[in-house]
């Protein structure tokens, strides 16, 4: 529900701040006072197109802001949570327009998507939904309580479509695979014959370095061992050092730290001597091994350069080649299995789509009858409403192409957008909304031209349908007819004022007494007589009396149902 609307510097509106309630909200005023500007501002706020000239003359920016009841919508999870849903749009002449959702920046597409979920505006230029074939199909399914069947069809279609994509991929792999198979087999054979091992390159490079520097390596090892272990070497001198430290300790009795360091040095140097001796015993120069290592490294480098990969990546490529060749060899088997799955999925999908189509035909007939009845009540008794259905290719929404048609007297039925005027479209939309009130997810409905071309008794019937619709929705209606305005739960008067050499629009919520005067103005024009005032008061009182009678009937009906 729309709770509050604030407008600043928009067209001829300097500043307006309005609070709204549930029920039927009627907006009236003299022609040219700016009634439709309120609706235009709301439409712009909800993502509609705009242009710099709409900003009030002499101002650089216009502000549009609305407060709605919060709704459950997944895309709102990305925005700050709040008790209310607050939308704001700032229009600028010199800079880029800005949009906000719950005081956080939002792009215009999100604002528009949220706006479509919050409000539907039906006026001279706002009937995109009603003339949209997808929306018409959605409406028919909602009327027939078919969303669950349609969901099953959509799920079945996605399964079937995914299998078709898998088949296409397998067919492509099969045709391309046969051409690639020999090449892939050659690559795999080349890599397998190399018998590459993880970490092999690093080990070979280390071994090659040792073999190439054999003499220096042997000399360094022998020299180290000789200096350490041969007669007169470090270890023999270390014993002498130990004896000297013992004597020092005996004299001072405080050389324990030096003794400990000496013992550690002796242990470490003896271990070093053992390692060097073992290395000398193990050393054996093999000139042929150097050639083998060099040739092996050359092979690895050659493969790396050829494939442009590291050794580890070549090993991964080997696994991928094995998988690709396995797929190619098993492609025909997989294709046969996919074909069986496609056949089963398509059979199941067609059964569900056919069932949905039959249900739509039943709903179509009932909806046509109900809309025809509503159109008669709304003064369009000579207008014929039809719903055509044609079979189409399988899709997520089934096999039906649905289109709403109307035929004016003695005319051939045509699409709504081709022959219906703004007022006719508004009344058709009103008829649809009354019929679908219980399943319509959009709670705020705005009607601008619903009274175009009608008057008298027909206008009163339109008012009654709007009042009925307002029991399940918050309804806004701009009207020039008192027969409609009399049904208002809340009445707003729009007035154009000329002050300080500038024209501005103001809006006020009317009291009951002010409503009587406004209806009298709408009935009698410039001169308001006691008779028109009395007539206006009677219209409002009659509406209240009818509501009390309806309420009493509902209570009695409820009591009867409970007694059963």
The domains found in the chain, sorted by start residue, are 1-126+424-510 (3.40.50.300), 169-331 (no CATH), 513-564 (no CATH)
| Sheet containing strand 84-92, strands side by side | 13-19, 2-10, 61-69, 84-92, 98-101, 104-105
Contact 493, 518 (CB under 8 A): yes
Q: Which residues have CB under 8 Å from 434's CB, separation 6+?
A: 374, 465, 468, 469
State how beta strands 24-29 and 474-478 pair: parallel
Task: Please give the angle made by the CA atoms of 228, 232 and 233, to the nearest 5 degrees.
Answer: 10
Q: What pLDDT score does 121 carry?
A: 84
CA-CA-CA-CA dihedral for 333, 339, 340, 342, to nearest 10: 140
pLDDT single digits (tens) 458-484:
888 888 989 988 998 999 999 989 999
Q: How much is the pLDDT for 344? A: 96
Based on C-alpha coordinates, what's the Rg of the chain? 44
What's the pLDDT at 342? Answer: 95
Listed in sequence order, the residues at least 6 apart from 70 whose beta carbon sits closer than 8 Å to its beta carbon are 82, 83, 84, 85
Per-residue confidence (pLDDT) for residue 367, from 0 to 100: 92
pLDDT computed for residue 488 by the predictor: 93
C-alpha closest to that of 43 among 104, 128, 135: 128
Give the burial string for 147-169 (b: 16+ CB within 10 Å, else e): eebbebbbebbebbeebeeebee
State the helix-helix crossing angle for 256-282 and 234-252, rounded to 10 degrees: 170
What is the β-pairing status of strands 384-395 and 398-407? Answer: antiparallel
Q: Which residues contact 523 (CB under 8 A, 6 or more apart)?
A: 482, 532, 535, 536
- Asked whether the beta carbons of 522 and 28 are under 8 A apart, the reply is yes
Cβ partners under 8 Å of residue 20, min gap 6: 1, 2, 3, 4, 5, 474, 476, 490
Task: Assess contact for 112 and 89: CB atoms under 8 A.
Answer: no
CA distance 515 to 25: 12
Look at residue 207 in the predicted model and tell me its pLDDT.
78
Q: What angle do CA 163, 167, 173 make, to 5 degrees?
A: 145
CA dist., res. 302 & res. 101, Å (int): 61
pLDDT for residue 548: 54
Burial class (CB in 10 A: 0-12, 13-18, 19+), 240: exposed
Beta-bridge partners for 415: 405
Give which of 559, 509, 518, 511 is closest to 536, Cα–Cα: 518
Tell me how many degrees the CA angle 74-79-85 measures, rounded to the nearest 5. Answer: 85
Please, are residues 375 and 386 in contact by the beta-carbon 8 Å criterion? no
Ranges under pLDDT 50 in the chain: 127, 555-556, 558-559, 561-564
Helix (H) or strand (E) holding 113: helix 108-118
Q: Judge contact between 116 and 446, C-beta under 8 A.
A: no
Q: Residue 407: beta bridge partners?
A: 384
Stated pTM of the model = 0.63
Could you tell me which residues come within 8 angstroms of residue 44 by beta carbon, excluding any fewer than 6 positions away? 10, 50, 54, 64, 89, 91
CA atoms of 39 and 30, how far apart (whole Å): 16
Rounded to 10°, the helix 311-329/287-307 angle is 60
Between CA 183 and CA 173 the distance in angstroms is 14
The confidence score (pLDDT) of residue 392 equals: 94
**pLDDT tens for each residue of 148-191:** 999 999 999 999 999 999 999 888 877 776 777 778 878 888 98
């Amino acid at each position: 529900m729309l709770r509050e609307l604030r407008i600043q510097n928009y067209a001829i509106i300097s500043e307006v701040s309005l609070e709204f309630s549930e029920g039927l909200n009627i907006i009236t005023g003299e022609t040219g006072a700016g009634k439709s500007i309120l609706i235009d501002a709301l439409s712009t706020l909800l993502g509609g197109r705009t242009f710099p000239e709409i900003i009030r003359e002499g101002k650089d920016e216009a502000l549009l802001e609305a407060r709605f009841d919060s709704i459950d919508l997944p895309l709102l999870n990305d925005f700050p949570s709040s008790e209310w849903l607050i939308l704001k749009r700032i229009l600028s002449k010199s800079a880029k327009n800005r949009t906000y959702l719950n005081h956080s920046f939002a792009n215009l597409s999100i604002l528009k998507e949220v706006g479509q979920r919050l409000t539907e505006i039906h006026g001279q230029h706002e009937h995109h939904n009603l003339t949209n074939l997808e929306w018409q199909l959605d409406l028919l399914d909602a009327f027939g309580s078919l969303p669950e069947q349609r969901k099953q069809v959509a799920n079945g279609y996605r399964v079937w479509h995914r299998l078709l994509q898998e088949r296409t991929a397998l067919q492509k792999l099969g045709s391309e695979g046969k051409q690639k198979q020999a090449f892939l087999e050659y690559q795999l054979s080349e890599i397998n014959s190399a018998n590459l091992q993880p970490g092999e390159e690093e080990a070979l490079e280390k071994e090659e370095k040792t073999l190439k520097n054999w003499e220096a390596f042997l000399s360094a090892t022998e020299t180290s061992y000789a200096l350490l272990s041969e007669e007169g070497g470090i270890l023999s001198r270390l014993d002498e050092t130990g004896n000297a430290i013992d004597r020092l300790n005996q004299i001072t009795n405080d050389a324990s730290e030096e003794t400990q360091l000496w013992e550690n040095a002796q242990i470490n140097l003896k271990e070093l001597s053992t390692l060097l001796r073992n290395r000398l015993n193990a050393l054996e120069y093999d000139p042929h091994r150097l050639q083998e290592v060099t040739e092996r490294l050359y092979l690895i480098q050659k493969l790396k350069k050829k494939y442009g990969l590291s050794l580890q990546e070549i090993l991964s490529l080997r696994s991928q080649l094995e998988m690709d060749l396995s797929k190619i060899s098993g492609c025909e088997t997989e294709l046969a299995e996919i074909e069986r799955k496609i056949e089963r999925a398509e059979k199941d999908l067609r059964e569900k789509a056919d069932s949905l189509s039959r249900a739509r035909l039943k709903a179509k007939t009932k909806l046509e009858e109900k809309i025809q009845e509503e159109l008669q009540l709304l003064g369009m008794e000579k207008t014929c409403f039809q719903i055509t259905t044609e079979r189409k290719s399988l899709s997520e929404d089934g096999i039906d192409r649905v289109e709403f048609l109307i035929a004016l007297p003695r005319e051939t039925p045509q699409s709504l957008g081709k022959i219906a005027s703004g007022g006719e479209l508004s009344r058709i939309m009103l008829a649809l909304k009354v019929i679908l009130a219980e399943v319509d997810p959009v709670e705020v409905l705005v009607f601008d031209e619903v009274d175009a071309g009608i008057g008298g008794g027909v206008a009163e019937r339109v008012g009654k349908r709007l009042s009925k619709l307002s029991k399940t929705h918050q309804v806004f209606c701009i009207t020039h007819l008192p027969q409609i305005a009399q049904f208002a739960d809340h009445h707003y008067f729009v007035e154009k004022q000329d002050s300080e050499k500038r024209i501005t629009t103001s809006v006020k919520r009317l009291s009951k007494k002010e409503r009587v005067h406004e209806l009298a103005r709408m009935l009698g024009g410039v001169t308001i007589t006691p008779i028109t005032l009395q007539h206006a008061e009677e219209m409002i009182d009659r509406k209240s009396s009818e509501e009390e009678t309806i309420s009493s009937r509902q209570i009695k009906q409820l009591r009867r149902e409970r007694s059963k």
